[in-house]
Amino acid sequence: MLNNVEDRITYLSQCRGVGRKQLTRWLNEDPSLESILVRKPDELSERYKLQPDLIDLLIDPRNQENFLKKREAYRRDNIETITILDVDYPPQLRQIYDPPIVLYLKGDRRLLTHPRLLSVVGTRYPTINGKNSLRKILSPLIQKGWVIVSGLAYGIDLHSHKQAMMQSGKTIAVLGSGFQHIYPKEHIPISDEIASKHLLLSEYSPDVKPAKWQFPLRNRIISGLSRGTLIIEAREKSGSLITGDLALQDGREVFAVPGSILEPCSAGTNRLIQQGAKLTTCAEDILEELTDFTTNV
């Protein structure tokens, strides 16, 4: 019933109980994923230690038929999928420790492989200095054709997307939920605009609601898409700091705007600078590190 590997990999990724590690194992054993769907229940139980409920879910033709109906609904809503097996899967993202196996897209998928991607994150409650720093640094980059990647959250994320759009640049919004459950709801209008003129991206199927644990996972995609991540105002133990730490772990450039030692929102960025992030005060600080990767574009 599932006639191609894209359908099989997407179907399996949506089956509750199938994690990325298990799906990766199956892909390594059989890149076509045909064998997993034709094995007998006893074999699935013995070979993979799967629970009976999950086995029933995997092999039930009705579940596969329901998936195909959902897939058609995705297409009617201009939702595309891209898998880790596809040639146009984002090359930078493929290199991170735990790359998403399936991505859902709305918008211009060509932006995923754009050579000039810059991830930008920061506090939900930016100061005036933070907003001004964002404009000062991003404006020249957007004029030079850099695509801004962020998470559509309150604060620096939202301002980053808007800055790119106001300057007729391009932006990618990475969600921590499915397209049918934009979070926060106040950002539905801008998410619609991004989906129509830029790119909306999620590793979660459209019907997945937001949950707290999904957003830290989302951060690895934000940092993983690009060679560099800019962080403007971040508290200690914040989501933005997690994003910066992930970028450093994956060997990416991290750019942090310094702040007053008296401001809690600068504690995270100042610590990142201590750990090796580049102290950043202008666009040139970023271009010095990243231009070598794009000079041939």
Sequential DSSP letters for 226-266: SSEEEEES--TT-HHHHHHHHHHHTT-EEEEE---TT-GGG
pLDDT for residue 248:
86
Q: Which helix (H) or strand (E) element contains residue 89?
A: none
Q: Residue 84 has what DSSP assignment?
A: T
CB atoms within 10 A of CB 184: 11
CA diameter of the chain: 63
Beta strands in 12-97 (DSSP E): 80-83
Q: Which residues pair with residue 173 across a beta bridge?
A: 150, 200
Q: Is 40 helix (H, G, I), strand (E, B) or coil?
A: coil
With beta carbons less than 8 A apart as the criterion, state whether 59 and 41 touch. yes
Q: Which helix (H) or strand (E) element contains residue 176?
A: none
Query: Would you state the structure tokens that stand for residue 34, as one six-digit string?
Result: 């045909």
Of 72, 112, 113, the C-alpha closest to 203 is: 112
Mind listing the pLDDT tens digit of every residue in the chain (297 residues)?
Answer: 788 899 999 999 998 889 889 999 999 999 999 888 888 888 888 888 888 888 888 888 899 999 999 999 999 999 999 999 999 999 999 999 899 999 999 999 999 999 999 999 999 999 999 999 999 999 999 999 999 999 999 999 999 999 999 999 999 999 999 999 999 999 999 999 999 999 999 999 999 999 988 988 899 999 999 999 999 999 887 888 888 888 888 889 999 999 888 888 899 999 999 988 999 999 999 999 997 655 444
How open is the CA angle 184-220-241, to the nearest 5 degrees?
Answer: 80
pLDDT for residue 297:
43
Q: Which residues pair with residue 102 across a beta bridge?
A: 83
Give the integer Cα–Cα distance in Å for 90 and 114: 9
| Residue the block writes with tokens 């060997």 | 251
With beta carbons less than 8 A apart as the criterion, state whether 103 and 201 touch. yes
Domains and CATH numbers, the chain: 5-76 (no CATH), 107-293 (3.40.50.450)
**φ, ψ dihedrals at 214, nearest 5°:** -75, -25
Q: Is 278 helix (H, G, I), strand (E, B) or coil?
A: strand
Give the integer Cα–Cα distance in Å for 148 and 173: 9
pLDDT for residue 3:
83
